[in-house]
Structure 1
């Protein structure tokens, strides 16, 4: 295991620990879909459209529908990776996957911000924290790729996946809490924005130790 992978795994929360539970059924479904001719990119696009549908539902106060769309988005996100593992990962697929993920993540607070004016400021703060987290994630991935670093803490990826306090599973849990308790959106958004800021600090510390 390379140094970046070892250091990154010290910061793991739920995502990597869920892998042994979710990967076997996802991989089985991925093999079936690949055999049917379904492409990973098609699943990525379908997941993105459903994820944007979740934001649309939240913007119109349909929070249980938004929650259902959010969960469906995550299922499709897992399936596109499973199909890619069968057919072989591609650089274009990795690009689409990252763009779709971040488009989905930022759309949810935007939806809540549209729903109620009192949500506007916390939605902006949370969206900004997602941008900073994403920038730190992608910057780490670019430099790690240049150095030949690898990790499979989150399964096989077409890019280096550096870990942090605020990752996919934590974000979905927060989105679910927002849908179930929409009147607490501001408190939840500010709290998770703080966790995102800590993730940026953690990843920056990892970069200093790894790339120095």
Structure 2
């Protein structure tokens, strides 16, 4: 929801960074790889009890993830390969957070497994609708908005990392939000794909 409705407020900052990266001679895919490499370290920082650094690298990774798309659109270099890298790397970064939390706090492992399952469910609907829909958005596929988008996930991950005493409650909330989002997307898909 925040990505869909709030992007216009932060896009000038993202766009400025994208221009700087282009001036440095970087390609969108290079920034995608940088975002991935930075983001995938999050789980390790969680496991080794460095929550501030974990949150910092998570958000830096997310920011660069927004910058790479802006670069691709500015340079008119959006590609199916770039989209595949972007979506795949996003999920691996999220898995890094979940695995780091499960290793650091094994008492929450089962609930984190359920959270992972709900993310798979929601992303399956999201990607299938994107592949089947003839509509295209700003991205190279149809982007199905929902209650839980990447920013909401990062906010919940941040709380999970920074306030481990609330981990079970926050994970449960995240699980419910993901299930709600998946169902929201299913209902929209039913309408879209019947047209």
- Aligned to 1:47, which of 14, 18, 35? 35
Q: Which has the higher contact order (CA 8 A, sep 6+)?
A: 1
Shift of 1:36: 2.1
Does residue 28 in structure 1 map to residue 16 in structure 2?
A: yes
CA distance in 1, matches of 2:58, 2:20: 23
Give the conservation status (yes or no) of the 8 Å contact 1:27–1:82.
yes
TM-score (norm 2): 0.94
Show the 5 A alignment for 1:67-146: 67-88=55-76, 89-144=78-133
Q: Please say if residues 174 and 192 of structure 1, whose CA atoms lie closer than 8 Å, have aligned partners that are also in contact.
A: yes
Displacement, 1:17? 2.0
Query: 1:187 Cα deviation (Å)?
Result: 1.1
Moved over 2 A (4+): none
Structure 1: runs of 5+ lacking an equivalent: 1-12
Quick check: 1:102–1:134 contact (8 Å CA) kept in 2? no
1:166 paired residue number: 148
Give the root-mean-square deviation of aligned CA atoms.
1.2
Structure 2, gaps ≥5 residues long: none
CA displacement at 1:211 relative to structure 2:
1.1
TM-score (norm 1): 0.87
Match of 1:150 among 136, 151, 175: 136
Match of 1:188 in 2: 170
